[in-house]
Amino acid sequence: MAVNITRQLLAQALQRLGYALLLPVSILPMAALLSRLGQPDVLDLAALALTGHALFSQMPLIYAVAIAFGLSRQGQGGLALAGAVNFLLLSTAFDTLAPNLHGDMICGLLAGLTTAIVYPWLSRQPLPRRWRWARSEVACLLLGAGVNLLLALPLALGWPVLEQGITLLASELLTTPFGAFCYGVLNRLLIPLGLHQVLGSVIGLGATNLQALASAQPLHAGYVAGLYPIILFGLPGACFAIWLHRQRMQRQPQGALLLTLALTSALVGITEPIEFLFAFSAPWLFLTHALLTGLSLAICSSLGIQVGSYFSAGLLDLLLSYSAGTHSFWLIPLGILFFVAYALLFYQLLGYAPLSLPSKPIPGSQPTLARVAPTDPQMLAIEYLKVLGGMDNVQAMSVCLTRLSLRVRHIDDVDQSRLLELGCLSWVVLNDQQLVLVLGPHASLIERQIRMLAERQSVPLGLTPNQPSP
């Protein structure tokens, strides 16, 4: 029992860390675009190139701020500033003790983590009345700074060995076909848990990737080229297979929805809306997707194709990384082969694995997906609240790019039959109190509107839907 509780708490902590890492990762495409547009062969604007380089060079500081803020609870936004201060203290002390190591990124991660841990830990300690002042923000900030300064010495002593290990893993093991295959499979399998960002951040601590980051070059060039055929071609092929399958079964084909998901994956590399269609309801499809991803990375590694990625291996990423890659052209014919492979395999497997898409027969006149205009976000948020059982039924929620995670009091009060009408792409019921809505690009907007409505009604909404109610 204790082992299960520990495992659950660890998984929840890693999930929150994965969500916190999304903010700095989402800055990378903007920095890459500014850097590329400023080059002499494009717009030849030095100011744009310098701006992009400045963002890349300050990524460790951005990681510290994002992790400290992302892991903090509501009302503790001041921890973002504490994360920045602690990073400056830790990195300065580390550089003084070990001046020739690439330690800025690990300093950023540790500063953010310690900042987010120290404050709630101190606030929970039972203290005598005369020591209550120690729970103030100033005392917590001082304690966090002291902890980071104490970390500098063991980090300076232990980091050389860890850096060599991570560099060996990233530059030697993962660049082999088998290593690339394992990385690709694990990267996809961690997506439902929100932990793929943690994996990418740990691997990115190698010296090769840190040097690429400092010079505004694409990351993980040796082993992530295989993601391009999957994201640009493979997952759109899966959407095509789903459309064909629904036509064969005389069900509503949802062509507009599937086309939107395919374009979202291919253009900007956001794959979660597609993967969440079958990650929970059809695990065999998801396992096939993970294995095909590993196969793509292994093939690219065998052929010597090396194209890095700034963000998520979509078309925008390919345009930015094409000139810096090796054998970049071969990603196109390889991607076409994976489009065919996904379409054929998924079409066959869909006969055995159901999907979370509603399976209504094709009527005489097909209704529209959404009855509420997306141009009115407040009304759309109100309609979602009605479907979720009202404001009193919602206990906590958090947003992660395209999906909204929720904890409700009673799952039976959620009218799942109306989610599709409001434009929800897909949804997954995790247990009796938790569900995930895949809303696409409107997820953040709807989350903000619901929080605004909750504040007007003085209803507290938590930020940790993956934690059980007290």
User: Residue for token digits 């095509």?
Assistant: 240
In the predicted model, is pLDDT for residue 28 greater than 80? no
Among 73-77, 412-416, 444-448, which stretch is predicted with the lowest mean pLDDT? Answer: 73-77
Cα distance between residue 68 and residue 141, in whole Å: 12
The closest alpha carbon to 68, from 163, 160, 144, 165, belongs to: 144
Per cent of the chain over pLDDT 90 is 17
* pLDDT, tens digit (0-9, with 9 covering 90-100), for 420-441: 778 777 777 777 788 888 777 6
Dihedral Cα 377, 193, 63, 311, nearest 10 deg: -70
* Percent of all residues in the chain with a pLDDT value above 70, rounded to a whole number: 81
Q: Is residue 230's pLDDT more than 90?
A: yes
Angle at 281 between CA 231 and CA 286, to 5 degrees: 35
Going by their DSSP bridges, the two strands 426-429 and 394-400 should be labelled as unpaired
> Which residues fall within 8 angstroms of residue 16, CB to CB, at 6 or more apart?
70, 71, 464, 466
Asked if 403 and 443 touch (Cβ cutoff 8 Å), the reply is: yes
Name the strands in the sheet holding 403-408, side by side, starting at the edge strand that comes first in the sequence. 394-400, 403-408, 434-438, 426-429
Highest mean pLDDT among 46-55, 254-263, 301-310: 301-310
**pLDDT at res. 3:** 58
Q: What is the pLDDT of residue 272?
A: 81
User: Has residue 151 got a pLDDT over 60?
Assistant: yes
pLDDT digits (tens, 9 = 90+) for 180-191: 999 999 989 888
Specify whether the backbone of 305 is left (phi greater than 0), alpha (psi in -120 to 50) or beta: beta
pLDDT at 451 over 80: yes
| Helix 331-349 with 283-303: angle, nearest 10 deg | 160
Residue 342 is predicted with a pLDDT of 96
Tell me whether strands 394-400 and 403-408 are parallel, antiparallel or unpaired.
antiparallel
180 neighbors 306 (Cβ within 8 angstroms): no
Fold of 377-456: Gyrase A; domain 2 (3.30.1360)
Mean pLDDT computed over every residue of the chain: 80
**pLDDT confidence band for 122 (50 / 70 / 90):** confident
For the chain, the structural domain boundaries read 2-176+198-210, 177-197+211-366, 377-456
Looking at the annotation, which residues are catalytic?
Answer: 400
CB hemisphere CA count around 122 (13 angstroms): 21
pLDDT of the residue at 201: 73
pTM of the full structure: 0.71
pLDDT of residue 356: 52
Amino acid in the structure at residue 414: V
Of residues 129 and 67, more confidently modeled: 67
In the block, which residue shows the tokens 């809505």? 437
pLDDT digits (tens, 9 = 90+) for 407-418: 888 888 888 878
What is the rounded average pLDDT of the residues 32-40?
82
**Of residues 133 and 393, which shows the higher confidence score?**
393
Tokens coding 52: 């992009």
Q: Among candidates 302, 109, 117, which has minimal Cα distance to 202?
A: 109
